[in-house]
Amino acid sequence: GSYQLIISDIEPAGFGELAKNFVILKQKLDKQGLTAKERKRPIPSWAKHIAVVTSATGAAIRDVLTTLKRRAPFIAVTVYPTMVQGEKASEQIIQALSKANENRRTAENVSGHDVILLVRGGGSIEDLQSFNDENLAYAVANSELPVVTGVGHETDFTIVDFVSDYRAPTPTGAAEIASPDKLALKKILKQKQQQLISYIQGRITQNWAQLTHCKNRLSVQHPVSVIEQQNQRLDELDSRMKQTFYRRLTGEKNNLQQFTLRLASQSPQRQLQQSHSDLSKLSNQLKQAMFQHVIQYRRDLQLNQQKLQQSLSVFSRYQQQIKGLHARLILLSPLGILDRGYALVFDEKDKLLQSAKRIQLNDTVIIKNEK
């Protein structure tokens, strides 16, 4: 037989209904700007404490913990267990996100979380429906902490992937995004060490050039006051150089110790100890060389002072000789003879008469004496 149906309305069911609801909610969130790239926050590159929201027994948590232990074992991890499928799953996930945000890093809570990983292993479309919940989407979008999602496989997309700050293809990918690689940390540590060595060498070269400049100026200028001024300047430069050196060295050593603590559980302990020993030896050698240069400069300064004293002594002897010559010159001066009662006799033409025989009767003469 056969029968006839008259259809007045058709609604999708099963997967078709889920797809329609997905598109409607996605468009709603787009209009509200919650999926825009401009609002997505950067993921911390140096997270110290990661919150993981997922099932406590699934494969996702094992993948995340294994990846974090391999890449960055120094990062603290707190798991907020929750259901990841079922009718009450989205509500539990929202509560877990709220707890993680309450324990976020602040000035008062320095050990709090830096980022949240919202992850789940693969499953069917129906299994992932909890991550298409509208209330959960708003909870992720309004999270105080950056949220990285890794739900299902690379081909799976859920609503929370669009409103999160970063969508990873898998839970393992989410863990990789939120953690630095230990090889990168070792490279940074090596760069810091090279920067410290270069800085110390540059400071020594600069200060040695200043000391050489002062030495050259002292070799040209001999007055005692200039030597005292340069000596005071030398002490000032020495003090500033020591303060700068120790302050910079202390800061870089603190940074080195922090990186060493982060890598302590994975980095070869013997290599770190050797690097630290080499750095200490280099620091001691540099300080010893610097102090030797300062001591040598002081010795040169004392030698210049002795030379100056010798020059002043020679000058004093020459001055005494000049005084003796001046006294003899005064004794031999014609003016000195006048002081002893003698006089000079000139004729009318103001010509000195050297003998009385040249004077005739009735000649006019001019007589000059001291008075």
Q: What is the pLDDT of residue 157?
A: 92
pLDDT at position 211 over 90: no
Helix (H) or strand (E) run with residue 53 in it: strand 49-54
Which tokens go with 371?
Answer: 């008075």
pLDDT at position 264 over 70: no
Instruction: Give the pLDDT band (50/70/90) at residue 298.
Output: confident
pLDDT at position 86 over 80: yes
Residue by residue, DSSP assigns 132-192 as G-HHHHHHHHT-SS-EEEEESSTT---HHHHHSSEE-SSHHHHHHHTS--HHHHHHHHHHH
Which tokens go with 298?
Answer: 């002081």
pLDDT in tens, 118-152: 999 988 888 899 999 999 999 999 999 999 999 99
Collect all residues with Cβ–Cβ distance below 8 Å to 97 and sequence separation of at least 6: 53, 80, 116, 118, 139, 140, 143, 147
Instruction: Give the pLDDT band (50/70/90) at residue 337.
Output: low
Question: 166-167 and 147-151 as β-strands: parallel, antiparallel, unpaired?
Answer: parallel
Highest mean pLDDT among 182-191, 212-221, 289-298, 351-360: 289-298
Instruction: Tell me the fold of 15-177.
Output: Rossmann fold (3.40.50)
Q: What is the pLDDT of residue 274?
A: 76
Helix (H) or strand (E) run with residue 49 in it: strand 49-54
User: Percent of the chain scored above 70 by pLDDT?
Assistant: 89
- 233, 214 in Cβ contact below 8 A? yes
State the pTM of this model: 0.49
Single out the residue of 61, 305, 46 nearest to residue 182, CA to CA. Answer: 46
Residue 285 CA to residue 277 CA, distance in Å, equals: 12
Mean pLDDT across the stretch 293-304? 86
Single out the residue of 23, 62, 34 nearest to residue 147, CA to CA. Answer: 34
Domains in the chain: boundaries = 15-177, 182-329, 333-371
Highest mean pLDDT among 86-95, 222-231, 324-333: 86-95
For helices 89-102 and 134-141, the axis angle rounded to 10 degrees is: 10
How far from 215 is each of 24, 299, 365, CA to CA, in Å?
A: 82, 11, 69
Tell me the Ramachandran region of residue 362: left when phi exceeds 0, alpha when psi lies from -120 to 50, beta otherwise.
Answer: left
Highest mean pLDDT among 44-48, 62-66, 152-156, 283-287: 62-66
Q: Across the chain, what does the average pLDDT equal?
A: 85
Residue 241 CA to residue 289 CA, distance in Å, equals: 13
Q: φ, ψ for residue 150 (rounded to 5)?
A: -145, 80
Mean pLDDT across the stretch 62-80? 94
Single out the residue of 120, 135, 107, 151 nearest to residue 28, CA to CA. Answer: 135
Residue 310 CA to residue 114 CA, distance in Å, equals: 73
Q: To 10 degrees, the CA torsion angle through 346, 350, 352, 357? A: -50
